[in-house]
Amino acid sequence: MTLRPAAGAATDLLIGGALVPAADGGTFVTYNPATEEPIGAAADASAADMDAAIAAARRAFDTTEWSRDHAFRARCLRQLRDALQERIEELREATIAEVGAPAFFTTGPQLEGPIADLGYFADLAEQYAWETDLGIASTMGIQSQRRVRREAIGVVGAITPWNFPHQINFAKIGPALAAGNTVVLKPAPDTPWAAALVAKVAAEHTDIPAGVLNVVTSADHELGAQLSTDPRVDLVTFTGSTETGKAVMAAAAQSLKKVFLELGGKSAVVVLDDADLSTACTMAAFNVATHAGQGCAITTRLVVPRAQLDEATKITADALAGLAPGDPADGGTICGPLISARQRERVEGYLRLAQEEGGTIVCGGGRPAGRDRGYFIEPTLITGLDNSSRTAQEEIFGPVLVILPHDGDDDAVRIANDSPYGLSGAVWGGDTARVERVVGAIRTGTLGVNGGLWYAVDVPFGGYKQSGIGREMGVAGFEEYLETKAVAYPV
Ligand code: NAD
């Protein structure tokens, strides 16, 4: 039996433990961004389906032992991991087709990594210190023994984007379930299958109780708004654009639910004058071409010493020229297609804007020759702009790198920090003390030094400033899904 629906059929919703079509029978088509061909369909949930999913999650949280049975939850998460790993090639094929994700990255964060990471969250469910003894204290003459318990928050609404759907879905489902919550997952309309195929495996091959995990695919963004406002939902965990994140936070305020936001970025690579310029620029080129630049933590500003600007521009342009967009199914491809025609138009709009703002496109800048199908854009390098330009300030979400000159370490830090965002970045330099000063001064949630890679399941990931609130992954990510209860006993 295959995970993908038969030709002409659609994937189901998962509501209250049952795999079901949308109540009104609605479906929507999902496309292959490398070919522009439809690849199949998904259930198109309406508000009534979302209402049923929230009710099921509420019921499962309030009436079962799920939140209290840590060992059972660990077992269920490992079952899910194992069942997905048994079907990994089918999932890989679907991910390449639906997301346009280069096959190379499906061996890491686009698929295999986040599935294996479920084991980390299963271990946390078993090993976490759920209760801490604060000892005895006397307050106004009353002696009390105090304990602090950590408990699940309740019903978690998870809203996710299309760019790394498995990574982001599992970075929410994994810790939320491990912490004892029940979940309603609403994936992005561009990538419903990534969630729906996992839902099918969870329903058919694990003991996860009915209502604990619900998956609601829909073409309608409004279902995300519904999840953000419904008072039966205790926490909304959202990954997406900063603009939508603000709408989620405002909507959640009505019922004062906790919000956890992973938003956009415009991260800088800071190259100091004693750095290995060649490696720094080559890595920056590779980074921005990865998955056609569709990653919130991808570095999109390259800040180099003014005296080395020409040399850095040449090295970077040469490296980008070697990263031409290709078929994502080809194991050598780094830069696949953008997700949709709409996204490509958005990126092309920024390429026009860059020139209107006085920038020069050094390489790339258009659709690759010989590829008349698929939403491909050449990896592009832009020079001649100031950091105050819109091109250097706004998130483009395509393979577009802006190179900017700096006049010393302090100026480089100023440029890196001159952004509404603060998600990620990189620092290159030869002198440890200077590098450490720069690392300490850049206001961003993750940084790689001289090629160091921070991404891993135990590393907290998230943003400063308008890149978000809270941290995903690691113990910090797990604790986002916990409440704190202090209990005092007389002695
Ligand atoms: P988006 O904000 O348009 O959509 C994200 C999700 O929100 C989708 O599921 C969408 O249906 C839903 N949504 C839309 N309107 C909503 C509303 N009013 N209320 C609630 N939910 C709503 O983002 P996108 O275009 O899918 O993804 C790209 C963006 O995501 C980029 O800005 C990128 O930087 C960001 N992103 C951030 C991270 C991170 O961890 N910081 C990771 C990946 C992507």
Buried b (16+ CB within 10 A) or exposed e, 196-220: bbbbbbbbeebebbbbbbbbbbbbb
Task: List CB contacts of 311: < 8 A, sequence separation 6 or more.
Answer: 277
Q: Coil, strand, or helix at residue 432?
A: helix
Nearest Cα to 468, choosing from 297, 305, 339, 333? Answer: 297
CA 116 to chain centre: 16
Q: Confirm or reject: Cβ of 468 under 6 Å from ligand 1.
A: yes
What secondary structure does DSSP assign to 197-220, as a single string? Answer: HHHHHHHHH--PPTTTEEE---S-
- Å from CA of 83 to ligand 1 middle: 28
Which member of 98, 262, 395, 480 is catalytic? 262
- Å from CA of 430 to ligand 1 middle: 38
- Å from CA of 262 to ligand 1 middle: 9
Q: What does the alpha-carbon distance between residue 257 and residue 478 come to, in Å, rounded to a whole number?
A: 17
Nearest Cα to 189, choosing from 226, 163, 220? Answer: 220
Q: Confirm or reject: Cβ of 398 under 6 Å from ligand 1.
A: no
- Residue 300: φ, ψ to 5°: -125, 0
Q: Confirm or reject: Cβ of 236 under 6 Å from ligand 1.
A: no
Which member of 76, 281, 296, 363 is catalytic? 296
Ligand 1: which atom is nearest the Cα of residue 186? 9
Tokens 């986040």, located at residue: 114
- Å from CA of 190 to ligand 1 middle: 11
Q: Centre a 10 Å sphere on the Cβ of residue 445 and count the other Cβ atoms it contains.
A: 24
Task: List CB contacts of 67: < 8 A, sequence separation 6 or more.
Answer: 61, 151, 152, 180, 181
pLDDT, residue 1, reads 59
Buried b (16+ CB within 10 A) or exposed e, 119-134: bbbbebbeebeeeeee
pLDDT, residue 2, reads 87
Tokens standing for residue 205: 């091959």
Q: What does the alpha-carbon distance between residue 450 and residue 430 come to, in Å, rounded to a whole number?
A: 9
Rounded to two decimals, what is the model's pTM? 0.98
Are the C-beta atoms of 96 and 103 separated by less than 8 Å? yes
Q: Confirm or reject: Cβ of 249 under 6 Å from ligand 1.
A: no
Q: What does the alpha-carbon distance between residue 479 and residue 153 come to, in Å, rounded to a whole number?
A: 10
Q: Confirm or reject: Cβ of 109 under 6 Å from ligand 1.
A: no
Ligand 1: which atom is nearest the Cα of residue 225? 19
**H/E stretch holding 69:** none
Q: What does the alpha-carbon distance between residue 286 and residue 71 come to, in Å, rounded to a whole number?
A: 42
Decide which of 3.20.20.120, 3.40.50.1100, 3.40.50.150, 3.40.605.10 is the CATH code for 13-263+468-490: 3.40.605.10
Tokens 């750095």, located at residue: 275
Q: Confirm or reject: Cβ of 160 under 6 Å from ligand 1.
A: yes
Q: Confirm or reject: Cβ of 188 under 6 Å from ligand 1.
A: yes
Q: Going edge to edge, which strands form the sheet with 425-428?
A: 360-363, 380-383, 400-406, 299-305, 267-271, 425-428, 448-449
- Å from CA of 387 to ligand 1 middle: 25
Ligand 1: which atom is nearest the Cα of residue 244? 2
Instruction: Provide CATH 3.40.605.10 ranges for the chain.
Output: 13-263+468-490
Instruction: Provide CATH 3.40.309.10 ranges for the chain.
Output: 267-456
Q: What does the alpha-carbon distance between residue 12 and residue 203 come to, in Å, rounded to a whole number?
A: 11
Tokens standing for residue 128: 């976490």
Q: Confirm or reject: Cβ of 262 under 6 Å from ligand 1.
A: yes
Establish whether 296 is a catalytic residue: yes
Ligand 1: which atom is nearest the Cα of residue 467? 41
pLDDT averaged over consecutive 10-residue blocks of the chain (491 residues)? Answer: 89 98 98 97 98 99 98 98 98 98 98 98 98 97 98 98 98 98 98 98 98 98 98 98 98 97 98 98 98 98 98 98 98 98 98 98 96 97 98 98 98 98 98 98 98 98 98 98 98 95
- Using most ligand atoms within 8 A of CB, pick from 30, 159, 347 the residue to mutate for ligand 1: 159
- Please check whether the domain covering 267-456 is classified as CATH 3.30.1300.30: no
Q: What does the alpha-carbon distance between residue 40 and residue 31 come to, in Å, rounded to a whole number?
A: 7
For ligand 1, atom 35, name the residue with the nearest CA: 240
Q: Confirm or reject: Cβ of 165 under 6 Å from ligand 1.
A: no
Q: What does the alpha-carbon distance between residue 57 and residue 234 come to, in Å, rounded to a whole number?
A: 11
Q: Confirm or reject: Cβ of 374 under 6 Å from ligand 1.
A: no
| Residue 414 buriedness (CB in 10 A; 0-12 / 13-18 / 19+) | middle
